[in-house]
Amino acid sequence: MEALRAEMEAYAKAHHVPILNEHGRRFYAEFVRQAQPHRILELGTAIGYSALLALSLASADCTVETIELLPERYETAKAFLARSPLGRRVTQHLGDAGDMLDVLREQGRTYDFIFIDAAKGQYPDYFEKATPMLEQGGVIVADNVLFRGYVLHPVMMPRRFETIVERLQRYLELANTPPYTTKIYPRGDGLALTRRK
Ligand code: SAH
Ligand code: MG
């Protein structure tokens, strides 16, 4: 398990796959430990790293449903997950996270832990689509909400980041509108932990 995770970290580094960074990992692990979720929904599988990390810390009945847009990443995740017994508790979906959220919602699925880590410009949309599936007492974790610091301090920001940064600011607004409250953990690229009151 440790060896597999180390191999995945090395793979991500070599192939420039943006998995949770060192700080992000530590906070994410802490959120999972505290929440002790049973049904996790993850947007942005990448190579399966955060899914495995979560399952290694959650209860033995915990499952993860995870969505990835890129076929190559989906396949790489499948291969890595097949090498851990925890992988059996992961259901992978290939497709656009926004579209898949509609499908899952129509199927009447609910989750007690939702991890948003797919297209940064889509976070407000993900929030609107995911919250109806969030159970009482459930939490939403979002990665990269500070986007290199520009979300709180958009000084000297390259024009090409304008839309993403605006959307992330909008996300944080939504996530701080009752009944939701959000705490931002500024280490790493910024993680937001949202609870429903
Ligand atoms: N959660 C992973 C990292 C995810 S990186 C971990 O920490 O281990 C973000 C992933 O989201 C990338 O693999 C990217 O291909 C995927 N992605 C980007 N846009 C997407 C979309 N519209 N729908 C689903 N996945 C998307
Ligand atoms: Mg991320």
- Closest atom of ligand 1 to CA, residue 42: 1
pLDDT at res. 135: 97
The whole-number pLDDT of residue 195 equals 97
pLDDT of residue 153: 82
Determine whether the shortest distance from the Cβ of 84 to ligand 1 is under 6 A: no
Give the nearest ligand 1 atom to 67 CA: 24
User: What is the model's pLDDT at position 76?
Assistant: 98
Q: Reply yes or no on whether the pLDDT at 32 is more than 80.
A: yes
Q: Which tokens belong to 44?
A: 């942005």
Ligand index nearest the alpha carbon of residue 15: 1
Q: What pLDDT is recorded for position 130?
A: 98
Tell whether ligand 1 has an atom less than 6 A from the beta carbon of residue 50.
Answer: yes
pLDDT tens digit string along 120-178?
999 999 999 999 999 999 999 999 999 888 888 888 888 888 899 999 999 999 999 99
User: How much is the average pLDDT of 105-116?
Assistant: 98
| Ligand 1 pocket test target in 78, 117, 120 with most atoms within 8 Å of CB | 117
97 lines ligand 1 (CB under 6 A): yes
Distance 115 CA to ligand 2 centre (A): 10
